[in-house]
Amino acid sequence: MNSESIPKLGRGCRLSQDDSQGWVLLIPEGVLKLTGPSPQILQRCDGVSTVGEIIEDLERNFPGAEAGQIATHTTEFLEKLAERRIIIE
């Protein structure tokens, strides 16, 4: 996945906020509990924004974080989900 990729949730996957568990990602195989910046990343995977635009938006919204760290974490996270077909381009 590169900065020009346009990620979106795969078929049967849905982001949800649960009162008891917080943010979760509902996938065909079950439920993934999301921690850290994961929900903010997935909220931006709308099938319109590129990975580069998502990173820029996160950098604007989290000015205290290191820019390189946001880019690295976001790209690695999306690549892991893409391997499982949770995120598609």
Q: What is the pLDDT of residue 10?
A: 97
Q: What's the domain count of the chain?
A: 1
Q: What are phi and psi of 83, to 5 degrees?
A: -60, -35
* Residue 4 falls inside a structural domain: no
CATH of the domain at 29: 1.10.10.1150
Rounded CA-CA distance 55/52 in Å is: 5
pTM: 0.92
Residue 3 domain-assigned (yes or no): no
pLDDT tens figures, 17-73: 978 889 999 999 999 999 999 999 999 999 999 999 999 999 999 989 876 899 999
- Asked if residue 55 belongs to a domain, the reply is yes
- Kindly report the number of other CB atoms within 10 A of residue 34's CB atom: 20
Does the pLDDT of residue 74 top 80, yes or no? Answer: yes
Which tokens go with 54?
């998502």
- Is residue 2, in this structure, part of any structural domain at all? no
